[in-house]
Amino acid sequence: MEPAPDETGPATAAPQRRGWFMRLPLWLRIAGPAVLVILLVGGATAVFVTSQRREPVDVARSVCLSGVRSDLEGRDREVVEMPLLRDVDDVGDGTYRTQGQVRFTEADGSERSVAVRCIARLEDGTMRVASIRFSP
């Protein structure tokens, strides 16, 4: 007679399930999260730096330059040289004044240089051009 099979014997081990992360090489499992953390910190730093409030003088200068360019281009004139508008004066009550020279080409091809004066106002937290004046 044959011996009865041993029911208490060792069972065959079930295959272990390995996830996609465990199938990656060890160096990638270490370097991947580290690079991801560095990119996230760098991105957060970039967002923080760019979201800082700019000085009102710089905003007034930028708004005036954009306003002068759009005003001239709206009259079919091509801007040759924009003013630097170095001196922006705070004249009080959220109003800033600047002036400079601008050179542009007329529609007929002639080139002119005129003085420009811009006034920008801070209204409801937004800087807007109040007036742009050109004088020969």
Distance CA 104, CA 76 (A): 10
Which pTM was predicted? 0.57
Beta pairing, strands 126-135 & 111-123 = antiparallel
- The H or E element spanning position 112 is strand 111-123
Distance CA 55, CA 112 (A): 32
Q: What is the pLDDT along the chain (136 residues), one digit of tens a residue?
A: 565 655 565 556 556 667 888 888 999 889 989 999 999 999 998 888 777 666 888 888 889 989 988 998 888 888 888 776 678 888 888 899 998 888 889 888 889 889 999 999 988 888 899 999 988 8
- DSSP symbol at 133: E
CATH code of 56-135, in short, is: 3.10.450.50
Which residues is 107 bridged to in the sheet?
A: none
